[in-house]
């Protein structure tokens, strides 16, 4: 590429190293705008059935739409999911449902918090560098 331009313009045209999209302020502003818009929308937990989708009303749907955990509002929770999927999570966002009683989904399980697991703390199958879920 050096032969396509003059030596004094080469430094301005070529980047000096890789910069992650998460470190680019314009990209972060765009992702935050999208995440804020999605975070302001209502969330419905739906079940796919042969006769069409049916809205589910249970403790999990209440947690998702009203109070996901003690530290976040619903808008913050959805904002975190969207931002993580776009930037740090490589298209993934993992949320762990903490329950009282049995493991979810079970008849005696009651979700009392949805914990956001940050991408640096886990790895999905195919990524052998981190803990697998």
Which of 37, 114, 45, 104 has its CA nearest to residue 77? 114
Map residue 113 onto helix, strand or coil: strand
Distance CA 39, CA 106 (A): 29
Please state, as a whole number, how many other Cβ atoms lie within 10 Å of the Cβ of residue 51: 5
Query: Does the predicted TM-score (pTM) go above 0.85?
Result: no
pLDDT digits (tens, 9 = 90+) for 68-121: 888 888 899 999 999 999 998 888 888 888 777 655 555 555 667 888 888 877
């Amino acid at each position: 590429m050096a032969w396509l331009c003059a030596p004094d313009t080469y430094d301005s045209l070529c980047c000096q190293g890789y910069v992650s999209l998460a470190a680019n302020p314009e990209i972060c502003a765009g992702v935050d705008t999208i995440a804020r818009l999605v975070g302001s929308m209502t969330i419905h937990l739906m079940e796919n059935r042969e006769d069409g989708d049916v809205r589910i009303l249970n403790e999990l749907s209440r947690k998702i739409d009203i109070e996901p955990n003690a530290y976040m509002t619903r808008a913050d929770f959805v904002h975190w999911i969207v931002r993580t999927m776009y930037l740090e999570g490589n298209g993934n966002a993992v949320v762990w449902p903490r329950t009282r009683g049995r493991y979810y989904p079970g008849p005696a399980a009651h979700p009392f918090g949805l914990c956001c697991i940050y991408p640096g703390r886990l790895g999905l199958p195919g990524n052998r560098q981190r803990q697998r879920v």
